[in-house]
Structures are given as structure tokens and as C-alpha cells.
């Protein structure tokens, strides 16, 4: 488990955002998926100040999203996605597709993701229909830091059932 500032937090979304939830970090992860591994290439692609880039890369390494791999002689390293980092691919692709559809202008979309085997655009990441999803308390639901959320979620569940708490 990555070392995070608020280990007493139990919300998985909050914990994930603590590790990868800022603009620069997501752009580093984006570039890593496109094969960028060297500090200088991240710097040139993103245009981020070197000290901030160094901090974000260190955070991703400490958190287990990236690992450093020595390159040849000397102190040069490359940054590579770990299995934990590679598991972010569906979320990153969904975010990219959402941005292409709702935020960016079609003529400004810089990258399209294609299937290497067919050369065709990948289909949109499947969106689950909310009316078929339900939420139930998980093992951490009784944790004191989860009670605020669970109180609200239970009130919403009751309202959706037609019970007025």
C-alpha cells in the first residue's frame, strides 16, 4: 500500500486522489503510457518546472505507480509504470475519451488511441448504467472516518426506496 499523508482516510476515491489527483501527476502518467521514461522527455512534453516534476515523479515512485530503472553507467534512471500504474489505463483512457467528447474541440484533439491490430479507434470505455448499480457498505464502513459518508449514502438509499427518513 502506498505511503499517503492521510492513512486514516478510508474512502478509496480520496486515497487515489491523494496519490494521483493533480493535473501534473495525471499528465506524467499519460506520458508514461505513451512510452515516455526519461526525466528530460517528461519535462519537454509537459513543460513542468523541473523541481515540481522531480517532486511528482518521486511521489509516484514512493506510491508504487512508477519505478526507477537504472540506465547504463552513471546515475541516470528511467521511470516505468508498475503493475499498479498500468492498472490506471482504463481510467486514463476514459478520462481522455470524456475530454474528447465533452471538453475539447474536435479540431484540437491531439491524440487518438487506436487498436494496433486493426488500426481502428478503440471504442468508448464502457459506461455502466447507474440504474443497474447499487452500493452497499464495505468492510471499512464502520470506520469512524467513513461514517459521515455512510450516513448520507444510507439516507439516499432510503429515499430511493421511497422511505422518508
What digits encode the pLDDT tens for the residues 107-134?
Answer: 999 999 999 999 999 999 888 888 888 7
Instruction: Copy the grid coordinates of residue 130.
Output: 447507474
Confirm if 31 and 43 have CB atoms less than 8 A apart. no
Confirm if 11 and 149 have CB atoms less than 8 A apart. yes
User: In the chain, what's the furthest Cα-to-Cα distance?
Assistant: 69
pTM for the model = 0.84
CA dist., res. 28 & res. 20, Å (int): 10
List the chain domain ranges.
12-87, 130-161
Question: Is residue 7 scored above 80 in pLDDT?
Answer: no
Q: Look at the domain 12-87 and name its fold.
A: Arc Repressor Mutant, subunit A (1.10.10)
Q: How wide is the angle at C-alpha 139 spanned by C-alphas 137 and 140, nearest 5°?
A: 85
Amino acid at each position: 500500500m502506498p505511503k499517503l499523508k492521510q492513512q486514516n482516510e478510508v474512502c478509496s476515491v480520496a486515497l487515489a486522489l491523494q496519490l494521483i489527483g493533480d493535473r501534473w501527476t495525471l499528465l506524467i502518467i499519460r506520458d508514461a503510457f505513451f512510452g515516455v521514461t526519461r526525466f528530460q522527455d517528461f519535462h519537454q512534453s509537459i513543460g513542468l518546472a523541473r523541481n515540481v516534476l522531480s517532486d511528482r515523479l518521486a511521489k509516484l515512485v514512493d506510491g508504487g505507480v512508477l519505478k526507477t530503472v537504472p540506465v547504463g553507467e552513471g546515475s541516470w534512471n528511467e521511470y516505468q509504470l508498475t503493475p499498479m500504474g498500468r492498472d490506471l489505463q482504463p481510467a486514463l483512457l476514459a478520462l481522455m475519451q470524456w475530454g474528447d467528447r465533452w471538453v475539447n474541440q474536435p479540431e484540437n484533439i491531439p491524440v487518438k488511441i487506436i487498436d494496433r491490430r486493426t488500426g481502428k479507434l478503440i471504442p468508448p470505455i464502457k459506461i455502466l448504467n447507474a440504474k443497474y448499480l447499487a452500493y452497499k457498505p464495505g468492510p471499512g464502513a464502520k470506520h469512524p472516518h467513513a461514517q459521515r459518508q455512510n450516513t448520507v449514502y444510507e439516507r439516499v438509499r432510503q429515499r430511493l426506496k421511497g422511505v422518508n427518513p
